[in-house]
Chain A
Amino acid sequence: MIKYLFQSRLTRIPADIGLLLFSTILVCLPHLLRLPIWTVILCVSVIGWRVLYELKQVPLPGKYLRLSILLGSLAGLFISYSTLIGRHAGSAMLVIMLCLKLLELNKKRDALVIIYISFFIIITGFLFDQSLYTGAYMVLVVWALITTMITYNHYATKGTSVQATIARHFKLAFILMAQAAPLMLLLFFLFPRLPNPLWGLPADAHGGQTGLSDTLEPGRISKLSDNPEVAFRVLFKGSPPAQNKLYWRGPVFTNYDGVRWQTDKNSLSLTRLDLDNQVVSNPVNYQLTLEPHNQRWLFALDIPTTVPERAILTNELQLLNSKPIRSVYRYSVSSALDYQYDMTSVLNIESALSLPTNTAPKTRQFVNKLRSKFKNDGVLVSAVLDHFRQQEFYYSRNPPRLYADHTDEFLFDTRKGYCEQYASAFAVMMRMARIPARIVTGYHGGEINPFSKNLIVRQSDAHSWVEIWLSKRGWLRIDPTSVIPDHRVENTTDLLQRQSREQQAKFLLEKGWASNSIRQLRFALDSIHSHWNSWIVGYDHQRQTNFFSLLGFSNFSMLHVGLLMAASISLAFFIIGLLLFRQRKTIDQPVLKAYEKFCKKLVRCGFEKKPYETATDFAQRVALKRQDLKQDVLHINSLYNQLRYASAPSRELLLNFKTLVQKFRPTQR
């Protein structure tokens, strides 16, 4: 019997183990979605096993089986990731360990270990995703975990149902979190942010980020076309330019090997002087908040005229940051929408003309024929564009796959393509006609959020176009996709893709597909996301400096920040202490007052409490003589004892006590 009692399973409140399982599942869920399938099966079956044990007493695995599952899963992880460290393997290992711990959950200590590991796993979630949704989900999970912790540390109150107990614990956990929130905010905003991080994230920490890549081959951009993730947000100083001017310049591709376009690794950095020599007008200034894409390039409207800090401008007019963008990055830049730039002095025109030999013989034939007809470069360009416009070329998100020579096959067989096929074919044709040409990728368009006045550019806005060089005119942007008439766009979504957002919304409204309110909601959400990004995820040294200057501390050092933080926290603790001190006083005095009232009422019935008599003795004395008062008197006494002598009596109890005394009306005999 002793053995049973002291080594017993956690059966005190049957619900606490349920609560623990519930929060464990919540903790693992976001990780399970990105783990290899075998770990998901393993974790689900381990949790299922524990549930079966709780419900049907199915025996748990023995020591050796547990050990072999552990070793097996470590081996599995090593096979899956070929390492046990790093972001993916590390978090997978933690999740598996957490689930396996459920199989040896015997004592309170084990439960607490599970809860503490869970807190750690929650944090690791931020290595994968830092969005507002993840943040909100994690707050909920923390809430569940704290509730579980409370349940494991509290005794069940007599006569309360399990549901009521758990509901009370949820409420208590909420209050705890609400009390901790000001401290958290204080620490978050005041903790000194260093200009450079103290330690780096694991090398594989940025693998999952989407965006444009440094090679262009068929299918690369169309893959992005149904991805609604935000690529970046722009805040214009002044009114935003017209939609058709919004070409966000990204990576530029000059080298072509017949299938794939690649960026020129040897591109040169421009000097300020080179830029000044160009003819630019119609400048716009704006601030751009870039989502991490794990590449060095920055986006700017065609063409950038200033260079953000720590970045360079290449001779292909591409902005490159000194380091890959791995967290939300904000920079100010200005662009000239009308421009003429030449820059032959710093540009190797030859590389913009080179083609692998024997590329696209049919196309070469076709171009030669055109060239003999039109000597003027400009006329030739319009002729090629006319060819796209007049012949049966289709615009499609899912064009047929190309097998043989990509350019020939596209121009003469399939005639269906997404922007990258058109850009590639057009650039190849230009080079055959000895007109320097290169492909520019980036984004086109964007939509204005009426709440934040931000322009939102999404991954689905990814686009590619061509730049050709004409003598006297310099580099000129040509967007061959734009000449395909609407009726040759394959389906409605593709059509929408091509149209500006304003037209899109009108179109949707006409069709009755989307109401205005949904659109409004989407914009409101995006506005929240934008604030989240700038104030929480992107809260860095720079932001902190701005924040302090907003508060009126313009000239400060990290030491000041530290002191300010320490002072605020001491103040917070002082206030908490004061409140706790007051609580004791404020509970104690009313209790005595109410009890006095209770005693006075009994004096009228002939019962006087002696000063040395304990409240219980007195109550029992009264109860013995007056059966009619017994219930009330004993109840009031038990509340009084709890209020006076139990640890941390609640205010509800006091209220309850006061009303009971109020209602207590003994009849005199």
Chain B
Amino acid sequence: MDTRSTDYYQSLINSVVDHIGQIILGKDRAIRLALTCLLCRGHLLIEDLPGMGKTTLAHALAKCMGLQFNRIQFTSDLLPADILGISIFEQANGQFNFHPGPIFSQILVADEINRATPKAQSALLEAMEERQVSIEGETRELPEPFFVIATQNPGHQIGTFPLPESQLDRFFMRIRLGYPNQQAERELLTSQDRRELFDQLSCKLDSQALSELQDAVKTIHTSDNLLDYVQQIISFSREPGNYATGLSPRAGLALLHGAQAWALMSGRDHVLPEDIQTVLPSIVNHRLLPISGIHNDDPESHCQPLLEVPIP
């Protein structure tokens, strides 16, 4: 592999961010976080109210990556076979032929994942973890790379089956888009339809470039001082009285890995504490269970105490 400078990677990622930014206005940070997730080979969960641009972001990401993608609209009557595929008996040759489902793609956009029943959800979530599916006793490999970008409405909406914590943990990151700011809102209102712009979106990366970026993330230096900081955050989350359950080792790894990707995007070859602080909310919020367990608490503020852990 040809090793290039972090400057080069930064400019490459910036061009992707700018590109998607033409569609999703004023949401650079969310776009960057989403890219961070993809650079760490993690699956992404986008959670927000209807009409905030979740699907558009998922779509734009897939298109910019230059990867082959499928989309499934999750509904309450969706069956696992609709996701994974099914064997159908063909009379012509007297055999069962497998028809792969939409999951056999490099990017799977799972829209409104919490509208499907737990049965359909777990079919998807198992495939996400194993990166392979077992259908009718036969194991089939999923393509490489394999990303799931799932969108969901907040849990309190009508007609949702919330994902359990164990399944949420399979998502590397959960991000929110939030309302656009004034300027973006005005542009959104005055300019042409987003869907028309979509057709103009060109592919900025290919799978080779993507895997090169993913390899580059691992080369970003994490100093001992930084690791000390990460460990203090993790142990704080595990101290009794702070959270019902602390951060798992997987969460700790995800935190460090995400910070590496963020550092690469910022054009640095080493991770700084601010990288940790930047990616921390989207990586830990869906994994932390507050002691009170009250649902009307804003889940986005779960991580606030962790951000106040002193930096060594």
Contacts and interface: CB of A to CB of B under 8 A. Distances in A.
Given A2-B204, A6-B209, 18 more contacts: A2-B206, A6-B208, A12-B8, A107-B2, A153-B3, A158-B7, A588-B225, A611-B311, A612-B308, A612-B310, A614-B272, A615-B273, A644-B225, A645-B270, A645-B272, A646-B223, A647-B223, A647-B269
B101 to A, nearest CB: 30
Interface in A534-567: none
A613 interface: yes
A156 interface: yes
Contacts, number: 69
A641 B311 CA distance: 13
A642 B206 CA distance: 33
Contact of A616 (B4, B225, B272): B272
A617 interface: yes
Among B4, B204, B273, the one with the most A-chain Cβ atoms within 10 Å of its Cβ is B273
B274 A2 contact: no
Nearest to B205: A2
B135 to A, nearest CB: 35
B5 A612 contact: no
Given A612-B311, A616-B272, A645 B5 contact: no
Contacts of A641: 272
A612 B5 CA distance: 31
Contacts of A107: 2
A108 interface: yes
Among B66, B205, B274, the one with the most A-chain Cβ atoms within 10 Å of its Cβ is B274
Interface in B252-277: 269-274, 277
Among B2, B204, B221, B307, the one with the most A-chain Cβ atoms within 10 Å of its Cβ is B2
Contact of A646 (B3, B5, B270, B309): B270
A5 interface: yes
Interface of B: 2-8, 12, 66, 204-206, 208-209, 212, 221, 223-226, 269-274, 277, 307-311
Contacts of B274: 614, 616-617
A584 interface: yes
Question: Chain A binding site: helix, strand, loop or mixed by DSSP?
Answer: helix
Contacts of B225: 588, 644-645
For the complex of A and B, list the 8 residue pairs with the smallest distance between their C-beta atoms, beginning with the closest: A611-B310, A647-B221, A646-B270, A155-B5, A614-B273, A614-B274, A612-B308, A645-B223
A647 B270 contact: yes
Contacts of B2: 6, 107-109
A155 B273 CA distance: 23
Interface in A125-167: 153, 155-156, 158
26 contacts: A1-B204, A2-B66, A2-B204, A2-B206, A2-B209, A6-B2, A12-B5, A108-B3, A109-B2, A153-B3, A155-B5, A155-B6, A155-B7, A584-B224, A614-B273, A616-B272, A617-B274, A644-B223, A645-B225, A645-B272, A645-B273, A646-B223, A646-B269, A647-B221, A647-B223, A647-B269
A639 to B, nearest CB: 13
A107 B272 CA distance: 31
A611 B226 CA distance: 15
Contacts of B223: 644-647
Contacts of B12: 5
A616 B208 CA distance: 34
Nearest to A157: B5
B307 A612 contact: yes
Contacts of A5: 8, 12, 209
Nearest to B224: A584
Contacts of A642: 270
A635 to B, nearest CB: 16
Interface string A278-319: 000000000000000000000000000000000000000000
Contacts of B66: 2
Nearest to A646: B270
Contacts of A158: 7
A156 B270 CA distance: 15
Contacts of A616: 272, 274
A617 B276 CA distance: 13
A624 to B, nearest CB: 16
A449 to B, nearest CB: 54
A609 B172 CA distance: 32
B48 to A, nearest CB: 27
A3 to B, nearest CB: 9
B66 to A, nearest CB: 8
Given A2-B209, A5-B209, A6-B209, A645 B271 contact: yes
A109 B3 CA distance: 10
A156 B223 CA distance: 21
Nearest to B274: A614
Contacts of A612: 307-311
B269 A12 contact: no
A208 to B, nearest CB: 43
A323 B48 CA distance: 90
Contacts of A584: 224
A652 to B, nearest CB: 17
A555 B308 CA distance: 69
B221 A613 contact: no
B134 to A, nearest CB: 35
Nearest to B203: A2
B222 to A, nearest CB: 8
A5 B204 CA distance: 11
B308 A645 contact: no
B279 to A, nearest CB: 13
Contact of B4 (A12, A613, A614): A12
B304 to A, nearest CB: 11
A396 B24 CA distance: 97
Nearest to A10: B2
Nearest to B4: A12
A53 B106 CA distance: 40
A614 B277 contact: yes
Interface string A447-487: 00000000000000000000000000000000000000000
B235 to A, nearest CB: 15
Nearest to B222: A645
Nearest to A7: B2
A445 to B, nearest CB: 63
Contacts of B307: 612
A617 B66 CA distance: 36
Contacts of A615: 273, 311
B163 to A, nearest CB: 31
Nearest to A642: B270
A395 to B, nearest CB: 70
Contacts of B3: 108, 153
Nearest to B310: A611
Among A641, A645, A647, the one with the most B-chain Cβ atoms within 10 Å of its Cβ is A645
A109 B1 CA distance: 8
A581 to B, nearest CB: 11
Nearest to B206: A2
A156 B3 CA distance: 12
B278 to A, nearest CB: 10
A107 to B, nearest CB: 5
A341 B110 CA distance: 110
Contacts of A108: 2-3
